Amino acid sequence: MVRIRYAKAEPEAYNAMRSMQDYVSNSGLDSKLMELIKIRCSQINGCAHCLDMHTQDALALGEEPRRIFTLPAWRDSPFYADAERAALELSEAVTRISDSGVPDSIFENVMKHFTEAEFVKLLMCINTINCWNRLNISCGVTAGTYNRENKK
C-alpha cells in the first residue's frame, strides 16, 4: 500500500525529479541501454515498482526477454556487448558507492567505450533511477501500479 503519494504531497520535489528524468530521456544515450541500467539498479535496490516499469518499457523497445532475465548475472552471460558490460559495471559501482567507490579500473573501462560527456550522461541515468528507487521504496509504491498504455 502506498504510504505517501509524493507527487501530490510535494509537487515541486516531483517536478525536480521529472526534470532530471527528462534530461536523461533526452540525453541521446541508447534507450535500450538506459532501460538495462534502470533494471539493474532497481534489482540491486529492490524496487519492485521500477522493476515492473522498466521491464515493460524495455520489452516495448524490443529488448530481448533473455537479456532482461539474465541481467542479474550479466558477467556470466554472452548476451551483452562490451560497452553494455562497462555501463552495467559502472551502474553497480555507483549504486553501491559506499562499498568501494568507483575504482579506476571501472572508470578506465567505461572510457574505452564512451566519451566524457557520455560518462556524465550515464551517471545521470544511474543517479536518477537510484533516486526514483529510493522515493518509491520509502513511500511504499509497489509493483502493479504502472500502466505503460497510460504513458503514451
pLDDT digits (tens, 9 = 90+) for 18-69: 999 999 999 999 999 999 999 999 999 999 999 999 999 999 999 999 999 9
Torsion of CA 145, 58, 107, 86, to 10 degrees: 140
Domain extent listing, the chain: 31-141
Q: Say which CATH architecture domain 31-141 belongs to.
A: Up-down Bundle (1.20)
- CB-based burial, 61-93: b 16+ in 10 Å, e otherwise: eebeeebbeebeebeeeeebeebbbbbbbbbbb
pLDDT digits (tens, 9 = 90+) for 63-115: 999 999 999 999 999 999 999 999 999 999 999 999 999 999 999 999 999 99
Against a cut of 0.85, is the pTM above it? yes
